[in-house]
Chains A and B, each alone.
Chain A
């Protein structure tokens, strides 16, 4: 006969193992895509896109943002800010132009803090090596921590499944890092690079670093990059073109492939920043790049620069 004690033991151990079984196969429910951060367009009279030229990456970063109306236009006091640079690999130091310039990122951190941000985190999920190692190798960890920001590792448990809106033509859903959706401000800071299949990688493509399964994007690369922008909408896009990787991207690995661009381009519109950088540094028209062309068609941004207020400053 089963005693009461044994029965209770049996029931409790069975339910415990059932519960832990549930824990191990949990899938977070999909959420409606609401990003807290939202692009902030220019007020009347303010430039739509700015480009700052000069020899100091930090100074031109500041100049580009100031020309756009200053960081206080994008960051309010008490805001939780995430800066998303390109830290795609753990093997090239910044001179090889495969990862965003650390001084550009650090200057943005400083400007956010000056504007009263409560916290500024910097993160990117690269494709080679561990994040911790990539943060170090890129020089970004050092620079950011000195500037008062924090580097954040993006653990897989914190990606949530997001259903894409009807405006997305191909992508149905993706797992996106939860905090990217929740942050008050998202600043997208790619580096201008050549890319084998997409031809160039700039702001729109940089958003692949906040989703969990990036490789599927390549099966319809141009359309899917554009689709990402229907959900992930940075407050501000800042293209680091201080150094430009002109070939053998997105990884590079030789200084021969690196050109000094000495510029930073900023706008709330990723199609505009990408289009502008394409014609300036890669000798192509915006519409030559599949995802930029599709992005404009889908109404995600524009590159009709003769209609837009583009301001160039030097410092």
Chain B
């Protein structure tokens, strides 16, 4: 195959990969039957797979799929980045139209390796916080908590506005009847600081204007994994002819993997994403990207490959110290001393080891049918940023659903059966009697009791004859939470008709002192 065809094949593969990524994200709903696992991109991610196993000290069977990615890396080097990575593809598409920026920040290339080492050291210490910088979790999170909800606002807005237009109705009807509650959220979802995720993502794209694929060159930790493997990978760029140093290839390279030195042209396999641009552009067929092993036998002095990064003792020491001190610093956050009242985790997720298993991939957040699972901010400190929490005012844990435990790729949320999940204490509801309508305003309400799905009712009614502040005697029902029955599903908080915060709120589970 000619280089041009290979380049075309690559561009096509990128398009397919991005489409597949979005299709799988859309297909991530409760009870989906999909031939391809909907969390494929997470499962095939060697970085999250192995660090999650290290941090949690468990073997996560399904994530052993990531061995395939390791093999891929040793064969194809960083071809993942140029051909398959959906984030890389999006960065390619949103680039300045004309760029001729030779490498200017060569030293920065080490950043991604230091970050990678930090992730590995932190994982050894049981921490996974830095996985928020894994490209797949970034894309997942942005798509799930920003792009798709935004899309739904637009869709519903257009539908509402054009609802009076009769010819449009069958189209909208078809969309709603076919996709609402599955591919489209049952109700609009609302995520904390979705705009912040979107801005971060736009920022990543914006970095392309400093230098193309800025993210991939300097920051991408998954790229660093493949970069290290590329040092010995089979597929790699090779200088196969002498040339006239026109530097067309150097300017064409989107990752700065080609340099012209006093010894001639040199290529860097750890940066080469096998995009084929240099091979296509070179007027003299000097560079090839292939599986040939001929040049390996060259003596080192004549080698036309170089590596912009070599792991040194300094890198090890710096990243180890950075990891140890960051993890130690996390342990000085207030959240490490006492349990935040609003740190309500998904059902079955045990607080003590949850952060050592959660890879911040946001799959649970997408699959939650009520939109109650949210990427958290600082409820568990900076350490737990973007890990999932249940915010019952935004959405409750449906009594008939156990989807989050089924989707979680690392079992950070355990795969409970529906029966098990129904008995799992997620949190405890408390009534604010100063705000609760029957308590504070002497009016009927008790939506919370009506909604409580626990068969014995964890919210119970007390019928009382009281005198209102105006002096009128009335008979009234007031709600009470039965501590031993409440599972903290939060439907009471969600449905409370009070404006603003609910008068019944779900707190993180606490243990009452035992009665002597």
Contact = CB atoms under 8 A, between A and B. Distances in A.
Contact of B449 (A137, A196, A252, A253): A196
A305 interface: no
Interface string A149-172: 000110111100000000000000
B398 interface: yes
Nearest to B418: A91
Contacts of A221: 444
A271 B281 CA distance: 82
Interface stretch (A39-47, A78-86, A126-134, A236-244): A126-134
Interface string B136-163: 0000000000000000011011111101
Contact of A91 (B370, B399, B445, B497): B399
Contacts of B443: 219-220
A44 to B, nearest CB: 41
A26 interface: yes
A121 to B, nearest CB: 10
Contacts of B31: 133
Given A132-B182, A197-B444, A248-B457, A153 B177 contact: yes
Nearest to A178: B163
Interface in B174-198: 176-177, 180-182, 186-188
A128 B449 CA distance: 13
A23 B186 contact: no
B123 to A, nearest CB: 37
A139 to B, nearest CB: 14
B447 A215 contact: yes
Contact of A219 (B177, B437, B454): B437
A193 to B, nearest CB: 11
Contacts of B437: 219
Interface string A112-153: 000000000000000111111100010000000000000011
Contacts of A197: 444-446, 449-450, 461, 477
A28 interface: yes
A219 B445 contact: yes
B186 A130 contact: yes
A101 interface: no
Contact of B453 (A28, A251, A257): A251
Contacts of A24: 153-154, 157
A23 B153 CA distance: 10
A110 interface: no
Contacts of B445: 197, 218-219
Nearest to B155: A157
A90 interface: yes
B360 interface: no
A248 B452 CA distance: 9
Query: Looking at chain B's contact residues, is the secondary structure mostly helix, strand, loop, or mixed?
Result: loop
A250 interface: yes
A253 B454 contact: yes
Contacts of B401: 90-91, 129, 133
A1 B496 CA distance: 58
B446 A153 contact: no
Contacts of A28: 160, 163-164
B30 interface: yes
A195 B450 CA distance: 7
A156 B180 CA distance: 10
A215 B504 CA distance: 14
A250 B187 CA distance: 23
B205 interface: no
B167 interface: no
Interface string A243-266: 000001011111001000000000
A254 B485 CA distance: 15
B176 A155 contact: yes
Nearest to B163: A157
A141 to B, nearest CB: 12
Contacts of A25: 157
A92 B400 CA distance: 8
Interface residues of B, number: 49
B497 A218 contact: yes
A100 interface: no
B102 interface: no
A216 interface: yes
A174 interface: no
B491 interface: yes
A91 B400 contact: yes
A18 to B, nearest CB: 13
Contact of A218 (B188, B400, B447, B452): B447
A23 B451 contact: no
A2 interface: no
A25 B370 CA distance: 23
B477 to A, nearest CB: 6
A178 B164 CA distance: 11
A48 B29 CA distance: 47
Given A157-B172, A197-B449, A248-B455, A89 B399 contact: yes
Contacts of B335: none
Given A131-B186, A132-B182, A220 B444 contact: yes
Given A24-B154, A196-B446, A137 B497 contact: no
Contacts of B95: none
Contacts of B388: none
Nearest to A255: B455
A128 B451 contact: yes
Contacts of A11: none
A219 B497 contact: yes
B324 to A, nearest CB: 46
Contacts of B157: 20, 23-26
B495 interface: yes
B126 interface: no
Contact of B451 (A127, A133, A254): A127
Contacts of A127: 451, 491, 495
Contacts of A131: 180-181, 186
B400 A137 contact: yes
Interface of A: 20, 22-26, 28, 89-92, 127-133, 137, 152-153, 155-158, 178, 195-197, 215-216, 218-222, 248, 250-254, 257
22 contacts: A22-B161, A23-B157, A91-B399, A91-B453, A127-B451, A128-B491, A129-B369, A129-B398, A130-B186, A131-B180, A131-B186, A155-B156, A155-B159, A155-B176, A156-B188, A196-B461, A197-B445, A215-B497, A218-B444, A219-B444, A248-B457, A252-B455
Query: Would you list the 8 A-B pairs with minimal beta carbon distance, nearest first?
Result: A91-B400, A253-B455, A132-B181, A130-B186, A215-B497, A157-B159, A155-B176, A130-B181
